[in-house]
């Protein structure tokens, strides 16, 4: 694993309050030379079978699950928990020694009842932890409905997911259609250091489920974290990517989850630095990146110190900020704006959402002028996404816009740079009028 750090400025003025941003690039190790050598994977699926899943949604999910079994090896672990108002273990988590039996169990799932998402999730976590070895496990929640039974508080479920991650259980979510609660699904995925997916149609869901499995099988690093040890010259730290982070005694510990082979990921940190009183090279922080390499399960640590040069004010006045770091910062701020817009849309504040989107549009458009070549395509894609969100919001399509904004921002803030499980691409042209969300049975 390689870690490199790029400062937006190499110098700050003496005795002057300033901010310093650093873009960190993380490069995962390649796949082992022996293609047959792979640590067993553990996938625990938690599937909504409430009434609103009837028809194409449940059929699409079952097709995807049946297909993914063919990608897993007999030494891999798989389990299936299904839920409506009640929870049932359809396939106890265990080795895939009898795929035909597991496929029959999947085929036998039928819809009924309401939506106790928390009950299904908690039972799925129990199953995952029961069989997960030192390589950990992934839980994938698939649901199309608003949780209307059990725990329905997003923050509470995020804490459950975060606690599970401390036991190397990652949680990803797939929201199906326009009727699910994106606040809950986003909170669980963020707390569990997993992916947040949005699929309006069954075909999209099938592709996203397949991508989740491909990413799991391609992993070469797990349980990755970044410890940022702050020196006394730093007054505060902002994790711009909005990753799960905890304050520790000497800084901040940021959770990064798993990496697949040859993946490159980016994150940006901004340090608040009050006036430094001494000239010369000054240490700002020490970055310590820790991960478990697969398939050896050996833990590695990489350490990178961060320094900035403190110079007289007239010398600092001539500094030229690094355009790549500054552009990446603007790009990530656009993702934060989309997350805020999603929150506004979920609460019915269309005007507040549109203000966030339009401000992000202006900043991205400005950043596109003379943008660094390696970021031009990302900015163009972001402009397209923001244009789509603006159209949907102006048309009153709050449900669709809220879910797209949430999934898109989460993908880019948490897994910036990864190729698997890319965020949803806005469709070409205008959408039809927004459909009413389907209701679960009771």
Across the range 196-212, mean pLDDT stands at 89
Confidence of residue 426 (pLDDT cuts 50, 70, 90): low
The answer on 165 and 73 residing in a single domain is: yes
Give the residue numbers spanning the domain of 94: 42-217
The answer on 227 and 175 residing in a single domain is: no
**What per-residue confidence (pLDDT) applies to 12?**
93
Q: How many CA atoms lie within 13 A of 63 on its CB side?
A: 13
**What per-residue confidence (pLDDT) applies to 424?**
55
The answer on 294 and 181 residing in a single domain is: no
Share of the chain above pLDDT 90, in %: 62
Whichever domain contains 327, its CATH number is: 1.20.120
The answer on 283 and 213 residing in a single domain is: no
Q: Is 188 within a domain? A: yes
**What per-residue confidence (pLDDT) applies to 173?**
95
Q: Is 295 within a domain? A: yes
Across the range 292-296, mean pLDDT stands at 87
The answer on 400 and 366 residing in a single domain is: yes
Place of tokens 């599970």: 164
Q: Is 433 within a domain? A: no
Across the range 421-428, mean pLDDT stands at 51
Are 188 and 121 within 8 A, CB to CB? yes
The answer on 177 and 259 residing in a single domain is: no
Rounded CA-CA distance 42/408 in Å is: 26
Rounded CA-CA distance 102/310 in Å is: 63
Q: Is 135 within a domain? A: yes
Tell me the whole-structure pTM to 2 decimals. 0.86
Residue 191 pLDDT greater than 70, yes or no: yes
**What per-residue confidence (pLDDT) applies to 163?**
93
**β 137-143/2-7 pair status:** unpaired
Question: Which range is least confidently modeled, 47-61, 94-108, 298-312, 319-333?
Answer: 47-61
Residue 153 pLDDT greater than 60, yes or no: yes
Place of tokens 């806005």: 426
What sign does the dihedral 83-87-91-95 (CA atoms) show?
positive
What is the pLDDT of the chain when averaged over all its residues?
88
**What per-residue confidence (pLDDT) applies to 419?**
56
End position of a domain, from candidates 288, 316, 344: 316
**What per-residue confidence (pLDDT) applies to 435?**
40
Whichever domain contains 203, its CATH number is: 3.40.50.410
Residue 77 pLDDT greater than 90, yes or no: yes
Which candidate, 169, 184, 177, places its Cα nearest to that of 216?
169
**What per-residue confidence (pLDDT) applies to 440?**
42
Rounded CA-CA distance 165/223 in Å is: 8
Q: Is 427 within a domain? A: no
The answer on 157 and 135 residing in a single domain is: yes
Give the other-Cβ count within 10 Å of 313's Cβ. Answer: 11
The answer on 138 and 118 residing in a single domain is: yes
Residue 367 pLDDT greater than 70, yes or no: yes
**What per-residue confidence (pLDDT) applies to 36?**
56
Q: Is 434 within a domain? A: no
Residue 180 pLDDT greater than 80, yes or no: yes
**What per-residue confidence (pLDDT) applies to 432?**
39
Across the range 9-29, mean pLDDT stands at 93
The answer on 149 and 229 residing in a single domain is: no
The answer on 59 and 186 residing in a single domain is: yes
The answer on 172 and 50 residing in a single domain is: yes
Whichever domain contains 281, its CATH number is: 2.60.40.740
pLDDT per residue as tens digits for the range 32-42: 776 556 788 99
Residue 256 pLDDT greater than 60, yes or no: yes
Token duo for residue 292: 């478990």
Question: Which range is least confidently modeled, 68-72, 90-94, 282-286, 364-368?
Answer: 68-72
Rounded CA-CA distance 215/321 in Å is: 35
Beta bridge partners of 285: 230, 306
Q: Is 426 within a domain? A: no
Q: How many separate domains does the chain show?
A: 3
Q: CA of 79: how far to CAs of 15, 45, 381, in Å?
A: 59, 6, 37
Are 290 and 299 within 8 A, CB to CB? yes
The answer on 134 and 166 residing in a single domain is: yes
Looking at residue 180, the DSSP 8-state letter turns out to be S
Residue 354 pLDDT greater than 90, yes or no: yes
């Amino acid at each position: 694993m390689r870690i490199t750090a790029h400062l937006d400025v190499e110098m700050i003025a003496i005795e002057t309050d300033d901010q310093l941003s650093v873009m960190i690039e993380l490069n995962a190790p390649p796949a082992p030379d022996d293609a047959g050598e792979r640590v067993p994977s553990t996938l625990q699926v938690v599937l909504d079978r409430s009434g609103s899943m009837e028809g194409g949604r449940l059929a699409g999910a079952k097709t995807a699950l049946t297909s993914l079994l063919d990608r897993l090896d007999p030494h891999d672990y798989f389990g299936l928990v299904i839920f409506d108002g009640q929870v049932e273990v359809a396939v106890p988590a265990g080795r895939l020694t009898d795929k035909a039996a597991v496929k029959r169990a999947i085929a036998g799932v039928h819809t009924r009842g309401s939506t106790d998402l928390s009950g299904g999730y908690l039972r799925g976590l129990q199953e995952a932890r029961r069989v997960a070895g030192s390589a950990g496990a992934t839980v994938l929640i698939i649901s199309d409905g608003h949780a209307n039974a059990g725990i329905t508080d997003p923050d509470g479920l995020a804490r459950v997911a975060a606690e599970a991650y401390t036991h190397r259980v990652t949680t990803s979510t797939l929201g199906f259609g326009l009727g699910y609660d994106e606040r809950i699904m986003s909170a669980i995925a963020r707390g569990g250091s997993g992916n947040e997916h949005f699929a309006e149609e069954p075909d999209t869901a099938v592709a996203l489920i397949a991508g989740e499995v491909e990413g799991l099988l391609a992993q070469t690093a797990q349980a990755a974290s970044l410890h940022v040890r702050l020196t006394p010259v730093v007054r505060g730290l902002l994790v711009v990517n909005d990753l799960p982070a905890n304050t520790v005694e000497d800084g901040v510990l940021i959770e990064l989850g798993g990496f697949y082979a040859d993946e490159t990921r980016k994150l940006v940190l901004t340090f608040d630095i009050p006036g430094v009183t001494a000239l010369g090279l000054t240490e700002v922080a020490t970055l310590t990146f820790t991960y478990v390499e697969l398939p050896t399960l050996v833990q590695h640590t990489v350490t990178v110190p961060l320094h900035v040069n403190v110079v007289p004010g007239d010398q600092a006045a001539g500094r030229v900020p690094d355009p790549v770091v500054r552009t990446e910062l603007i790009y990530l701020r656009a993702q934060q704006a989309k997350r805020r817009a999603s929150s506004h849309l979920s609460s019915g504040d269309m005007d507040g959402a549109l203000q966030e989107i339009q401000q992000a549009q202006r900043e991205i458009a400005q950043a596109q002028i003379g943008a660094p070549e390696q970021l031009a395509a990302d900015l163009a894609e972001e402009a397209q996404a923001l244009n789509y969100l603006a159209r949907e919001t102006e048309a009153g399509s709050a449900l669709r816009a809220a879910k797209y904004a949430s999934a898109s921002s989460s993908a880019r803030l948490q897994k910036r740079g990864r190729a698997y499980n890319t965020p949803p691409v806005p469709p070409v042209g205008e959408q039809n009028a927004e459909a009413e969300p389907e209701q679960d049975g009771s």
